[in-house]
Amino acid sequence: MNVLLDLQKKLLPDLIEVLGQRFRILRFIRLMQPIGRRTLATNLDMSERVLRSEVTFLKEQGLVAFAASGMTLTDDGHNLLGQLEVVMKEVFQTRSMEEELQNKLGVSELHIVPGDSDEYSWVQKEMGRACVNLVKQKMATRDNIIAITGGTSIAAVAEMLVPDSNLKETLFVPARGGLGEQVENQANTICATMARKAMGTYRLLHVPDQLSKEAYESLINETSVVEILELIHSATMVIHGIGEAKMMAERRNSTKEVLKKLDEKKAVAEAFGYYFNQSGDIIHKVLTIGLQLEDLKNIPDIIAVAGGTSKAKAIQAYMKQRPNEVLVTDEGAAKAILNN
- Total domain count, the chain: 2
Instruction: Using pLDDT thresholds of 50, 70 and 90, give the confidence band for residue 13.
Output: low
In this structure, the answer to whether residues 154 and 77 fall within a common structural domain is: no
Domain closes at, from 59, 91, 123:
91
In this structure, the answer to whether residues 263 and 294 fall within a common structural domain is: yes
Q: Distance of CA 121 to CAs 45, 183, 309, 331, Å? A: 13, 19, 13, 13
Q: Distance of CA 339 to CAs 106, 175, 332, Å? A: 16, 33, 11
In this structure, the answer to whether residues 269 and 230 fall within a common structural domain is: yes
Number of alpha carbons in the 13 Å side-chain half-sphere of residue 293: 21
DSSP string covering 94-122: HHHHHHHHHHHHT-SEEEEESS-TTT-HH
In this structure, the answer to whether residues 193 and 271 fall within a common structural domain is: yes
In this structure, the answer to whether residues 115 and 251 fall within a common structural domain is: yes
- Residue 302: what are its φ and ψ, rounded to 5°? -130, 125
In this structure, the answer to whether residues 220 and 178 fall within a common structural domain is: yes
Query: Strands 64-67 and 70-73: what pairing?
Result: antiparallel
Range of the domain at 34: 2-91
Domain closes at, from 39, 59, 91:
91
In this structure, the answer to whether residues 158 and 87 fall within a common structural domain is: no
CA angle at 273 for the pair 200 and 147, rounded to the nearest 5°: 15
Instruction: Report the mean per-residue pLDDT for the chain.
Output: 87
In this structure, the answer to whether residues 65 and 116 fall within a common structural domain is: no
In this structure, the answer to whether residues 256 and 112 fall within a common structural domain is: yes
228: domain CATH number is 3.40.50.1360
Average pLDDT in the 192-205 region? 92
In this structure, the answer to whether residues 226 and 78 fall within a common structural domain is: no
**pLDDT tens digits, one per residue of 204-220:** 987 766 666 777 677 77
Closest of 249, 236, 312, 324 to residue 283, by C-alpha = 249
In this structure, the answer to whether residues 172 and 192 fall within a common structural domain is: yes
Domain closes at, from 37, 62, 91:
91
Does 42 score more than 90 pLDDT?
Answer: no
In this structure, the answer to whether residues 65 and 100 fall within a common structural domain is: no
- Model pTM greater than 0.75? yes
